Chains A and B, each alone.
Chain A
Amino acid sequence: MADSSTDDPALAAEFDILAKRAGLPILAGRRPALLQNYKDLKRMTALMRQPRTAAAEPAGAYSILSVTRSV
């Protein structure tokens, strides 16, 4: 539930929904600090959205060699 610990009620509401979806109990007294960290996380994930082609694959793509060599 949103409270007065943030000046962005929408962000607080979003945080609460995500925490509930993750099955994550928010410990008493820690919500304000978590909300601040969540704001910073949102800044970082926005920073990563850059123009790239559809062909730009992620690092660490699945490698069959690394799976089969240990079997």
Chain B
Amino acid sequence: MAKALHDVSIAEAGAMLRSGSVTSMALTEHALDRIRSVDPLISSFITVTKESALADAAAADAAFAKGIDKGPMQGIPHALKDIYGTAGIRTTCHSKLLLDNIPKEDSVVAAKFKAQGAVMLGKLATHEFALGGPSFDLPFPPARNPWNPDCIPGGSSSGSGAAVAAGLVRMAMGSDTGGSIRGPAGYCGTIGLKPTYGLVSRRGVFPLSYTLDHCGPLSWTVEDSAIAMEVIAGFDPLDPASADVAVPDFRGKLGKGVQGLRLGLPRGWFVNADGASAETLKAIDDAAQTLAKLGATIEEIELPDYELYNACGRVIMFSEAYAIHEKDFQTRPQDYGLYTYLRMTMGAFVSATDLTQAMRLRRELAQAVNAKLKGCDALITASTLAPAPGFSEADPNSPPNFPIQTMPFDVTGNPAMSIPTGFSASGLPLSMQIVGRAFDEPTVLGIGAAFEAATKLPERRPSFAVAKAA
């Protein structure tokens, strides 16, 4: 039986576009129809750019007709978290403070997709300024989890995770400062790749924390994240953090398997962690066994205490975020959502000495991870520690800290990808992370692709009735 059009990957859609068996216009109209029928249940989009999307699709089809092929994203619908600046298109950061913000220029990432002829369907929900959520006191509703709309989709790239899992887009861009790509990926059952710090330009993306922010894709398949990375990676001399390194071959290790790879497993981090579910832990152990059967060697390793990474990352993040928002916090604090206000205010109370100690600790913690990666090709570890919690589990008066272990690799800057490992008894996705050496995304993606092929987890989609009907 042929796949539904929304289940066709970017790689498959690209082949179909080039063979003439589908048009970008057909892909785009199908996506817009699906957004219209499904998104009211999950609120993943803040803005749908229907007119410009249809124009982009027509342009892509015209280019194909002329034999012009700009690359693998030509004619492919996608969407951007609403912190990515988009010329002439409202960019709100899901906040009252930026309701009327219409950038004059595209972010570098948006410009790169545009230059390749991709079709931008719209802007996606986020936690306010990529920090405060899930919240009901913001100008737009919070995104919901397509596997169960009573559950959170994770954050802050909440709309990106929800839209990809619901089949509204094959790939959506997110950002990750403490886990904001990998958390939604884990809760929504998608791939979520936080690239190496400095590999993707952040210019034109509203910052949360200068030294922790990463831009990266969420997608339904590993290969589709690799394709997105081909488009967006590269040196940007105007991004102070950008790394002037050779761009790796992101698809170079797909299909090559894991035979002979040594994978470190820092089991001590998560096995007794607060809030870790037995199902999540078993799924990670099962995943390790699957990778071992495929030919990898799994070695338990020890790393510095997880809480050190968490404290280090949070102190830096609060400080840098507050510095960005200081004036607005002093003059119009009431315009922030409660969770944003409560979290970001902490940055006002971090001393210069605290921040310097955090930055000293950061170097030590990064060295500890990279020392282990000298003896291992990659690490596998927990991502989300339990299935997605319900909205009702969040205290309306205090920002929730749901159990998730993504912060370490924002602190270290290593590439880290969340990948589904199975499902809970309640039908919600479970996940783990694959972590690589700096700028070695190809190994991370290669391991993920081997695991994905062995488990065939992408064959299962959210089954809510409206999604079936679309």
Q: Do they bind each other? A: yes
Hey, which bits of chain A sit against chain B, CB under 8 A? 15, 18-19, 22-25, 27, 30, 33-34, 36-38, 41, 43-45, 47-50, 52, 56-60, 66-67, 69-70
Task: Using A60-B211, A70-B238 as known contacts, say yes or no to A25 and B363 having CB atoms under 8 A apart.
Answer: no
Size of B's binding interface in residues, CB under 8 A: 43
**Beta-carbon contact of B346 and A41 below 8 Å:** yes
| Distance to closest chain A CB from B247 (angstroms) | 18
Partner of A59, one of B318, B363, B399: B363
**Beta-carbon contact of A38 and B356 below 8 Å:** no
**Beta-carbon contact of B360 and A58 below 8 Å:** yes
Task: Using A48-B358, A52-B360, A56-B363 as known contacts, say yes or no to A37 and B237 having CB atoms under 8 A apart.
Answer: no
**Beta-carbon contact of A57 and B363 below 8 Å:** yes
Q: Which residues of B contact A36 (CB under 8 A)?
A: 398
Task: Using A48-B354, A59-B366 as known contacts, say yes or no to A37 and B346 having CB atoms under 8 A apart.
Answer: yes
Task: Using A44-B311, A44-B314, A48-B311 as known contacts, say yes or no to A22 and B348 having CB atoms under 8 A apart.
Answer: yes
| Distance to closest chain A CB from B306 (angstroms) | 11
Partner of A48, one of B241, B333, B361: B361
**Beta-carbon contact of A18 and B348 below 8 Å:** yes
Partner of B357, one of A27, A37, A49, A60: A49
Complex-state Cα separation, A34 to B358, whole angstroms: 22
**Beta-carbon contact of B338 and A30 below 8 Å:** yes
Task: Using A45-B354, A48-B311, A56-B364 as known contacts, say yes or no to A24 and B359 having CB atoms under 8 A apart.
Answer: no
Complex-state Cα separation, A1 to B142, whole angstroms: 35
18 A-B contacts, Cβ less than 8 Å apart? A24-B329, A25-B330, A25-B333, A27-B333, A30-B342, A33-B397, A34-B342, A37-B342, A37-B345, A44-B310, A45-B311, A45-B354, A48-B308, A48-B354, A48-B357, A57-B360, A59-B366, A69-B244
Hey, which bits of chain B sit against chain A, CB under 8 A? 211, 237-238, 240-241, 244, 307-308, 310-312, 314-315, 318, 326, 329-330, 333-334, 338, 341-343, 345-346, 348-351, 354, 356-364, 366, 397-399
**Beta-carbon contact of A38 and B360 below 8 Å:** no
| Distance to closest chain A CB from B323 (angstroms) | 11
User: Which of B307, B354, B364 counts the most A-chain CB atoms under 10 A from its CB?
Assistant: B354
| Distance to closest chain A CB from B195 (angstroms) | 18
Q: What 5 A-B pairs have minimum CB-CB distances, sorted nearest first?
A: A58-B359, A44-B311, A22-B348, A59-B362, A59-B363
**Beta-carbon contact of B358 and A15 below 8 Å:** no
| Distance to closest chain B CB from A42 (angstroms) | 9
Task: Using A22-B349, A36-B398, A66-B240 as known contacts, say yes or no to A58 and B364 having CB atoms under 8 A apart.
Answer: no
Partner of B350, one of A25, A34, A41, A59: A41
Q: Which residues of A contact B348 (CB under 8 A)?
A: 18-19, 22, 24
Q: Which residues of A contact B238 (CB under 8 A)?
A: 70
